Structure 1
Amino acid sequence: MSKTKETPLLVASKMGTVEMVQRILKKFPIAIQDTDCNEKNILLLAVEHRQTDVYNWLIGEKYPEYVFYHVDKHGNNAVHLAAMYQKLEVWRIPGSALQLQGERKWYKYVKHTLPPQSYVRYNNKGQTPRQIFVETHAKLLSDGTQWLVTTANSFSVVAALIATVAFATSATIPGGADDNGHPHLENQPAFDVFSITSLVSLCFSVTALVFFLAILTSRCRHNDFEKDLPRKLLLGLTSLFASITAILISFCAAHFFVLRDKFRTAAIPIYGVTCIPVVFFAFNQFPLYVDLIRSYIQMLPLRSYKVFYTDSSEATSSDQKKEGKEKDD
């Protein structure tokens, strides 16, 4: 046994190797009582290091109650450790805002899956899990709020510009109107496309602007990052993308009346080229869009295994290890 009192079972729990945990406990059931130098058992280590697979397997097995009642030498139970931030991006979602969302989901998941009587409310310092969560996630909350406000502010400017153009476009009648107010081109298919898409662009751009302004005026509390703020950002991005697409189609339809009949067929490829900005915008924002959808739908975010743990029980990321080697060189 090493000087840190880490048995193979405890190491496997920290590293998230479910198969090894299962085999060790099947062959040596008494190993469930193993603890490290901080008196943390297999459940506490799995919770502390965000090993979702190991934790889910443990709570699904019928182990003695003391496994779930266990506290470390500081009086921290599983919920305390779930609330304690490890200062590493352990979730497979980029950005401080989504990392905070993952931390919030993990904390609530552990809290609700353990029996209510299986943990004490205070540790040796007199702290509740909620107090630990607020204290250790203060910087992550600040970074996530700054990123979210900056992103919403940038997108709101774009949405406002599109709303301005869409309003001016929807109020303009191509070809003018007769004395009765009927458009001269009302029987043209392109006119119908122009009328509909200009109105759609106006509606979606205003909708996107409302969502982004709602983010800017939000109080940005910890629980807001779990569902409310990601949902607003997701709906705002969707509305913005729809408004950009609609305004380009509206422009092409209005420009179609300017061309002579012999040039209209040749102009179709040019209209296709005008869609390139929408394609670029979609590809640029697609990773963020996918991450928002995935993090919003999933009950628990996916664990990133770029983070590993050394023998001294200190968490390290592969990126940090590379930076350390470069400094040594």
Structure 2
Amino acid sequence: MIGTSEDGFGKAMPKLLDEAQRLGDLICKLFEQETQTNRSPIVSDKSQKKVMPKLLEEAQRLDSNWSPMETMCKAINQAAKKLGDELLSDIENKNEEKGELWTPILIAAKNGIKEMVESILICYPMAIHDVSPEKKNAVLLAVENRHPHVYKVLLKRANNMTDSVFGAVDNNGNSALHIAAMFTDHKPWLTPGAALQMQWEVKWFEYVKKSMRSNFFPVLNNDKESSQQIFTDKHKDLVKKGGKWLNDTATACSVVSTLIATVAFATSTTLPGGNKDTGIPALEMKPAFHLFAISSLVALCSSITSTIMFLAILTSRNQEKDFARYLPGKLLVGLTTLFVSILAVLVSFCSAHFFVLQKDLRMYALPIYVATCLPVTLFAIAQLPLYVDLIWVTFSKVPQPPLEDNA
């Protein structure tokens, strides 16, 4: 669709109206003279004389067998058509200079306004074919600006126009999949950290790819680049940053999990109260001893599992596809088992220490154990945002809208 400019109309309309009035007066006088005499009309009005040279010039190009009236009408028609073309060309040039070829649906798709896109498509379905000066339609703009909610709306509304709308390319021959493979530095996704940003990027690329049938999008753009090549090239820095953050996190956590595994192993082999002559634990009938035995075993197993997960992250290749589920999944399991191992070690300590306090200081046991759980509480509070983001990003199939969409 061609946009409009108030300046273009303001300058062109007076000229159009003036010419239209002159042509109208001329047609009336020609008709009168044609009906009265069968000769070529002679026009003496000053305003008509300004138009006549153009009309006579056009008339000389027409068939000489036509009557004077037919000749002049044909010339008038061509002059009016030429004037209209000049008007549209002038308006279009001014709009291109000012970047005003943006229709409402394009602006709404670019800014992620889902409700406006839906309303426009309900009232005027053909607006889905509007394009920007760079030949980007609403689909390409939604993909470029990372608006999955708008992309879903366009998928529902495309109906039988899927090929023409979702198969469109911009001036550079980039399809929706090529644009999804590109990376923008303003970090649009609603999640912190380079690793989680990379995970969203991979999921967004795969989502756009799987939204259409296989081999639907053009393979190469004008630069002879495939979407996979663009994705690998544009995400090199993000992969490095994400890999570094994962390695630093895994290194720090693996040190903690190794220490807990060491303590848990020593605790599980040192029973409170010792053993009887028969080798049976002396306090095996006590409930606190049962709690100690179970918690020490849980601490040992979970800490070893956590250490293995973090080692798997440290030895990974850090490729783009690994950020989709492999690396974040390992980090999620590692953090979960690390938290469980810390909690289990504290429970094991408290249950073994209960035998020391059960006589004289039994009434002070509960406050002491609550204070002992403070490190676990602080660790949980510190890691909770990261943990929630990991769960959210890992188990979400479609990336969430950018930060500005939720402001």
Which TM-score applies when normalising by structure 1?
A: 0.90
Aligned twin of 1:300: 398
Give the conservation status (yes or no) of the 8 Å contact 2:148–2:399.
no
2:371 aligned to which of 273, 277, 294: 273
Structure 1 position 52 matched with structure 2 position 148: yes
Which deviates the most, 109-118 or 232-241? 109-118
Structure with more helix by fraction: 2
Question: Aligned partner of 1:41: which letter?
Answer: N
CA distance in 2, matches of 1:68, 1:210: 44
Structure 1 position 125 matched with structure 2 position 203: no
Structure 1 position 249 matched with structure 2 position 347: yes
Secondary structure (helix, strand or coil) at the match of 2:357 reads coil
2:310 aligned to which of 193, 207, 212: 212
Q: CA RMSD in A?
A: 1.6
Give the conservation status (yes or no) of the 8 Å contact 1:160–1:205.
yes
CA distance in 1, matches of 2:191, 2:123: 36
Structure 1 position 183 matched with structure 2 position 281: yes
Q: CA deviation at 1:27?
A: 2.9
Change (3 A) 1:232 1:226: same
CA distance in 1, matches of 2:119, 2:355: 74
Structure 1 position 12 matched with structure 2 position 122: no
Give the conservation status (yes or no) of the 8 Å contact 1:90–1:307.
no
Give the conservation status (yes or no) of the 8 Å contact 1:10–1:35.
yes
Question: Aligned partner of 2:344: which letter?
Answer: A
Q: CA deviation at 1:30?
A: 3.3
Aligned twin of 1:36: 132
Structure 1 position 75 matched with structure 2 position 173: yes
**Structure 1 gap segments, 5+ residues each:** 309-317, 319-329
Which TM-score applies when normalising by structure 2?
A: 0.73
How many residue pairs align between the two structures?
A: 309
Structure 1 position 198 matched with structure 2 position 296: yes
Q: CA deviation at 1:259?
A: 2.5
Change (3 A) 1:307 1:138: farther
Give the conservation status (yes or no) of the 8 Å contact 1:84–1:132.
yes
Question: Aligned partner of 1:257: which letter?
Answer: F
CA distance in 2, matches of 1:273, 1:88: 44
CA distance in 1, matches of 2:317, 2:114: 40
Higher relative contact order (CA 8 A, sep 6+): 1
CA distance in 1, matches of 2:169, 2:360: 82
Structure 1 position 287 matched with structure 2 position 388: no
Q: CA deviation at 1:262?
A: 2.8
Larger radius of gyration: 2
Give the conservation status (yes or no) of the 8 Å contact 2:147–2:402.
no
Structure 1 position 226 matched with structure 2 position 330: no
Aligned twin of 1:143: 241
Deviations 1:141-172 (A, max 9, x none): 11100100000100000000000111111110
